[in-house]
Amino acid sequence: MSIRSYFMAKFYDATMRQCEQACLGSWRSELLQSAAGTVLEIGSGTGVNLPHYSDNVQRLILVEPDKHMRHRLTARAKEPGNEHVEIASFGAESIDIEDETIDCVVSTLVLCSVSDQAASLSEIHRLLKPGGTLLLIEHVFAQQNPSVARWQKLLSPLWRVMCCNCHLNRNTRQAVHQAGFDTVQVEDTQMQEAPSVIKYAIKGVAHKQERRDSPAGVQNPW
């Protein structure tokens, strides 16, 4: 895995350049403009999201467990304007931060490759304040295209080995629902200039529900 992750980190930006220029760059910019307050980004990789955050972010915590990715992330975070950035080595499944202290969590092309997607989403839900948001861009299982879906199922075992645990056939929208988020602002889309097996995607905002105060004598269901 170390050798594969080394080459993944070394060539990731170049591999994704056409897709970034075609759509991902504008998606990141549009989505991350709403990030504010204390923001946690999981699987920050080489730091490609850094230029897209606004001045509304007061504290930005970037977590990246892969040492090769983190090396490149650290170098990018030293650029001027990133004085509010902190870097940690946590994996998404276990993050050593107190409950309900994060205003916004960002996940862009990460939930496809975490070791345990359900545990990662549960951890995100735990960290978010009531009313907090999860901003996400993720490639997903192509349920609407049976032909592509068959190829995703067929290729996924090999793809996971070659691409550092990236899964082609995860139903991330469903997983977000099951973790307790509202996902009414998450939409289906397609990544331009991407191979068919990773072309189908979702992007948008998932909300953690506000805490509701119950009348006296009534148990709060949240």
pLDDT digits 0-9 by tens, 25-34? 999 999 999 9
pLDDT at 1: 56
**pLDDT above 90 coverage of the chain, percent:** 87
Backbone phi, then psi, for 84, in 5-degree steps?
A: -90, 5
Q: Which CATH code fits 2-207?
A: 3.40.50.150
- For range 191-214, the mean pLDDT: 90
Closest CA to 45 of 16, 68, 78: 68
Q: Classify residue 155 by its DSSP letter.
A: H
How big is the chain, counted in residues?
A: 222
Q: Identify the three-state secondary structure at position 61.
A: strand
Task: State if pTM tops 0.75.
Answer: yes
Q: Is residue 59 within 8 Å of residue 39, measured between CB atoms?
A: yes
pLDDT digits 0-9 by tens, 56-92? 999 999 999 999 999 999 999 999 999 999 999 999 9
CA dist 145 and 158 (Å) reads 21
